[in-house]
């Protein structure tokens, strides 16, 4: 059974799932849903062709959708290239 999410939450789940660098564990941490539930959300919200394309990419051997497959130990889910954010403004170089 899928949890009920707002439109904004559903959009964020799809965005996070679509990104190659965001592991399923990050989605589970933030929204409390497992990988199989993420797949259900993607299946119900995406067009059939988009869902198939996403599943093919996630199931490929180069996917990093699981934290265990990454070489880095993470204590939080943040891209190493993400800039420091302060007061809702992205810091400039």
Q: Which of 1-15, 27-41, 57-71 has the lowest mean pLDDT?
A: 57-71
pTM of the model: 0.65
CA distance 75 to 77: 7
pLDDT value of position 48? 94
Alpha helices in the chain (DSSP H): 7-18, 24-31, 35-45, 48-59
Q: Is residue 17 part of a domain?
A: yes
Q: Is residue 66 part of a domain?
A: yes
Q: Is residue 1 part of a domain?
A: no
pLDDT in tens, 36-87: 999 999 999 999 999 999 998 888 755 556 656 555 455 555 555 555 555 5
Q: Is residue 58 part of a domain?
A: yes
């Amino acid at each position: 059974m899928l949890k009920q999410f707002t439109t904004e939450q559903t959009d964020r789940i799809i965005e996070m799932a679509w990104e190659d660098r965001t592991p399923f564990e990050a989605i589970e941490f933030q929204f409390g849903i497992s990988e199989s539930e993420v797949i259900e959300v993607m299946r119900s919200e995406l067009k059939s062709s988009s869902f198939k394309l996403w599943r093919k990419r996630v199931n490929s051997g180069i996917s990093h959708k699981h934290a265990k497959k990454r070489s880095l130990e993470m204590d939080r889910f943040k891209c190493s290239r993400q800039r420091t954010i302060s007061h809702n403004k992205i810091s400039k170089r």
